[in-house]
A and B are shown apart, each in its own frame.
Chain A
Amino acid sequence: MIPAQFDYVRAGSLGEAVQELAADEDAKVLAGGQSLLPLLRLRLAYPSKLVDVGRLPELTGVHDRGDHVFIGAMATHDEVMRSGVVNADCPLVALTTTKVADPAVRHRGTFGGSLAHCDPAGDLPAVVLALEGVFVTRSPEGEREIPAAEFFVDYLESALRPGEILVGVRIPKLGAGWGYHYEKFHRTAQSWAIVGVAAAVKRSNGAIEEARIGLTNMGPTPVRARAVETALRGVQLGDQVRQACEEAAADTSPPSDLHAQPDYRRHLARVLTHRAILNAAGSP
């Protein structure tokens, strides 16, 4: 379908973009448009105005900042998955980004856009949650930092306030000794995850010292599998890992849709978490 009418402004600066948004509560930010344009075409969204921030230099690029990597909100998926610093210091982000959608969508879709969209079936929110990223935003009131644990509020709802724009995300570097994996279960190559599991595992002397696990599509927001993380602490690789992963669906409220019912999603979370942990514990 053809989208409903809207006004369009290409912001010349971050300040201008913030002003435009603050002046009109029905205005929406246009980043790469790979989530927004399908919504407009299906007439599921009726913004009065699109504020195009896709070309703002303040929001682009991937930057090495010592103890963390700062990924600009407008860095495309293609840019992120090819970035040397992301591959070296945030390999879970690089790996997962290769599994987002397809090459043409990755050329336009942005890291910040897919996070701010807050789709619980999106792959990157669970990763940023597990890695304890920090969202940096700008609004008329100034700059603000939002920890990942507070950013994903509800289904398609972030902690961003009206007039507030995501500038980028700080991803802490985990350092040496960590392995990682993203296990995505979907019906066809380019489709959304029915369930996904992002895992980072630190091993020492053959045992798991620490595990970080984020679940995709196991509720209205991405969730940490805290019970598994706790159960895995100090565990040797073996049967105990499988046992710990039985807790993967604890405290989740998975959706029911045409792909799966909640009980099947809980089953998937247990099986996929086990696979993700074994893979993460095995990767260097």
Chain B
Amino acid sequence: MPRIAVTVDGVKYEEEVEPRLLLVHLLRERLGKTGTPVGCDTSNCGACTVMLDGKSVKSCSVLAVQADGCDIVTIEGLGANGSMHPMQQAFHEEHALQCGYCTPGMVMAAIDLLRDNPDPSEDAIREGLEGNLCRCTGYCNIVRAVRRGAQEMGQAVRTP
């Protein structure tokens, strides 16, 4: 079996994996990172979105062997020193979830969107999150949360 080395949420792992093992299954079943859910079998929903070398990917559509040598950040790696990431906090404040299943992917996709556009309009947020489905259809609060998260993150950058 191929042997791979990955860094997940700042911790290095070496694992022997079957070629068919999906990245999301490596994260959940081998490394215990169950914060990243599996939402669909069709690459549509984006619930399993993580950062791979700094860019959002759907971890159900990446083989673990393809991630060899890569740096992965999941929803569990966002917070620091026991406090939530500003985008997680914004989702909390704006009540940007109903069942919560899509939330980890939404938060990761939102953070990815801000790499490009630190102050996105409502339209830009809706377009930026086009790969993530909220089956509860609670998009209004999600968009509000991303606006708020962006403002908080902008503040955090501006205030040293």
Contacts and interface: CB of A to CB of B under 8 A. Distances in A.
Given A2-B25, A8-B2, A78-B55, A190 B66 contact: no
Nearest to A3: B20
A7 interface: yes
B61 A103 contact: no
B148 interface: no
Nearest to A108: B57
A37 B43 contact: yes
A136 interface: no
Contact of A107 (B43, B56, B128): B56
A6 B20 contact: yes
Given A8-B2, A104-B46, A1 B41 contact: yes
B130 A103 contact: yes
B19 interface: yes
Contacts of A52: 65-66
A107 B127 contact: no
A94 to B, nearest CB: 15
Interface in B41-90: 41-44, 46, 49, 52, 55-58, 60-63, 65-66, 68
Residue of A8, A34, A42, A104 ringed by the most chain B CB atoms within 10 A: A104
- Main SS of the interface on chain B? mixed
Nearest to B20: A3
Interface in A108-130: 108
Contacts, number: 86
A103 B112 contact: yes
Contacts of B41: 1, 38, 41-42
A40 interface: yes
Contacts of B35: none
B61 A38 contact: yes
Contacts of B58: 104-105, 108
Interface in B102-138: 109, 112-113, 127-128, 130-132
Contacts of A102: 46, 130-132
A104 B131 contact: yes
Contact of B60 (A5, A41, A107): A41
Given A37-B43, A104-B57, A105-B61, A5 B20 contact: yes
Contacts of B131: 101-105, 190
Interface in A16-58: 30, 33-34, 37-38, 40-42, 50, 52, 54
In this complex, the interface size class of chain B, counting residues with CB under 8 Å from chain A, is: 20 to 34
Contacts of B55: 78, 107
Nearest to B42: A38
Contact of A10 (B18, B57, B65): B65
Interface in A166-198: 189-190
B26 interface: no
Contacts of B109: 103-104
A57 to B, nearest CB: 15
A110 to B, nearest CB: 12
A189 B56 CA distance: 18
B20 A34 contact: no
Of B2, B112, B130, most A-chain CB atoms within 10 Å: B130
Contact of A40 (B20, B56, B68): B20
B6 interface: no
A10 B113 CA distance: 31
B22 interface: yes
Interface of B: 2, 18-20, 22, 25, 41-44, 46, 49, 52, 55-58, 60-63, 65-66, 68, 109, 112-113, 127-128, 130-132
10 contacts: A4-B20, A8-B19, A33-B66, A34-B61, A37-B60, A37-B63, A50-B63, A102-B131, A102-B132, A104-B57
Q: Which 4 A-B pairs have the closest CB atoms?
A: A102-B131, A8-B19, A189-B130, A107-B55
Given A103-B113, A103-B130, 10 more contacts: A7-B19, A33-B66, A38-B41, A38-B61, A41-B60, A42-B41, A50-B19, A104-B49, A104-B56, A107-B56
